[in-house]
Structure 1
Amino acid sequence: MSDLAEAARAANHIRSLTPRQRERRARILDAAYALLVRHGYDAMSTKMIASEAGVAERTLFNIYKTKDALIATAARERSEGFIEEAWSKAADHGIGFFLSLCETLSRRTLEAPEVARALAPVLVQQTDLVALHEVYRRYVGRALEELVDRDALDPAVIDVLNGLVTMRMVSAVTLWAGQAIADDALEAHMRLGVCEVLSPHVRGPLHDWSIEEARRCVDALARTAL
């Protein structure tokens, strides 16, 4: 079975785990985060992860099969947790979700910068394995459908826009990890990315808002660059 299939299998079985199994998985993922920060992806081994987590190495292979699948799962679940938080805190599940998404992703990234920087290359190098597009589809797709219901968006572009929003969020974090974006500019870059994706496709008041919001973001970024 491929690493992609193994990562999907692990994700699909989360809800069926017992509390003890969930606790063990949490220890494994926490150990993987810690070792990524200390040693980097290439130097980290499944043996090291197992020792750090206090489990047998065969347990890791039983759950994830490979190191790539384990780290991809860690990256996906961390991102999904942040997106779920953004959804739950959004003022509404239309444009309010997109604003909440930018705020939550930037804040959570900056709360644990070492982990975020260690995982950023995984999001780019293991795109298919991490499968963030499917995670975003469940939330961004629903927010876009809300805009369709409000007659502000054509339903034919939902899938394309979902992919573009995913790319903009990942790109912002990756650029930040490479120190091309400053900490205090991260959220503005994300908001600007959302506006750039939506403005050519939304209509009515939302189009006007997206243009004005893009201007505000550009002004804010100009101030942070001074």
Structure 2
Amino acid sequence: MPEAMPTPTPTPTPMPGPLPAPVIRAVPGAPAAAPSAAAADPGRPAEGNRQGRRRERRGSGVRERRRLETRDRIVDAAAELFAERGFDAVSVVEIAQRAGVVEKTVFNHFPVKEGLVLSADPPMRSALLHAVATRPAGESVAAAAGTFLVRAMTMLGSPEAAEGVAEMARVVRGSRTLQAREREILGEITAALAAQIREETGAGDGAVEPDLTAAAVTALYGRLLELARDRVLAGVTGPALADELRAAGRRGLSLLQFGLAGYAKRR
């Protein structure tokens, strides 16, 4: 089965950098540069790293700057506590106390506790849908979406991303609540992609192709994310991790593009 990836088409990265630095500051991969971590994590952290957040505040009014500074304190306090004791063992009251605010203030910024780790509207969703919507004529959804995902996930091998990916892995894997929410987010991305495919192709409600295609794409995404977490926790980072993710992604992309007919035939 061929393993060559189709020539990648430039697709804008509407996110701070899917993976330039999934730092635990808000805890899931929050990037700051190219398709890197933010896009790579199903639920991007509520906020990115401190330096990136300071840049975002420049030019804001006094009231808005204060609001964002308060949000930053909450995110940092939560990140520290989650890293120390795990997501499930930390209460919102404790987060508020460490951040120097009242519990209501935390909920004003994050209506649900999970929002401190996983964004309700992860940048990966819009970036993936955009990559599919802007693909050139003649290119399939699987090729466009798969190529985008492989490129984004490979960015998790950047030096800046390693610590964030590891922190995110520990926090999420230590909480059944977050694991369930992450599965929900992947399901929401799958549903959004299936709806876009259905609309574009005019497929009827009974057609299975849009849902199967979307599910295959997000399955590749989820698997590459877990592989990245496994390898980072095992001490593999940088170019070595990027190479592993790229190779695994290309194999997965090959199946997406050319089908499963020739895979794992019984001998």
TM-score, normalization by structure 2: 0.48
Kindly provide the amino acid, as one letter, of the partner of residue 150 in structure 2: C
Kindly provide the amino acid, as one letter, of the partner of residue 82 in structure 2: L
Partner of 1:3: none
Cα distance, 1:169 vs. partner? 1.9
2:144 to 96, 113, 135: 96
Distance in 1 of aligned mates of 2:215 and 2:134: 21
Distance in 2 of aligned mates of 1:137 and 1:115: 28
Cα distance, 1:146 vs. partner? 8.4
The answer to whether the aligner puts 1:115 opposite 2:174 as a matched pair is: no
Q: 1:171 to 1:78 in 2, by over 3 A?
A: farther
Partner of 2:113: 70
The answer to whether the aligner puts 1:105 opposite 2:153 as a matched pair is: yes
* Higher helix proportion (structure 1 or 2): 1
Q: Is contact 1:27–1:53 with CA below 8 Å preserved after alignment?
A: yes
Q: Is contact 2:154–2:245 with CA below 8 Å preserved after alignment?
A: yes
Distance in 2 of aligned mates of 1:109 and 1:39: 27
Distance in 2 of aligned mates of 1:21 and 1:163: 42
Give the 5 Å matches for 1:169-180. Answer: 169-179=221-231
Q: Deviations over 1:137-185 (max 9, x none)?
A: 32x3366458848x9xx95222233233323322332233233885221
Distance in 1 of aligned mates of 2:225 and 2:130: 22
Kindly provide the amino acid, as one letter, of the partner of residue 191 in structure 2: R
Partner of 2:122: 80
Q: Is contact 1:103–1:187 with CA below 8 Å preserved after alignment?
A: yes
Distance in 1 of aligned mates of 2:208 and 2:66: 41
Partner of 1:37: 83
Q: 1:32 to 1:58 in 2, by over 3 A?
A: same
Cα distance, 1:29 vs. partner? 4.0
Cα distance, 1:134 vs. partner? 0.8
Q: Is contact 2:224–2:248 with CA below 8 Å preserved after alignment?
A: yes
- Deviates further, 18-27 or 113-122: 18-27
Q: Is contact 2:220–2:252 with CA below 8 Å preserved after alignment?
A: yes
Cα distance, 1:119 vs. partner? 4.4
Partner of 1:224: none
Partner of 1:141: 194
Partner of 1:7: none
Q: 1:43 to 1:82 in 2, by over 3 A?
A: same
Unmatched segments (≥5 aa) in structure 1? 1-10, 12-17, 202-206, 215-226
The structure showing larger relative contact order (alpha-carbon pairs under 8 Å, at least 6 residues apart) is 2
Distance in 2 of aligned mates of 1:199 and 1:22: 50
Distance in 2 of aligned mates of 1:142 and 1:191: 25
Give the 5 Å matches for 1:154-193. Answer: 156-179=208-231, 182=236, 183-184=241-242, 185-193=244-252
SS at match of 1:117: helix
Q: Deviations over 1:88-123 (max 9, x none)?
A: 577944433431223223425752223332344279
Q: Deviations over 1:10-49 (max 9, x none)?
A: x9xxxxxx95797355653454344333443344332332
Kindly provide the amino acid, as one letter, of the partner of residue 77 in structure 1: S
Q: How many residues are aligned here?
A: 180
SS at match of 1:178: helix
SS at match of 2:155: helix
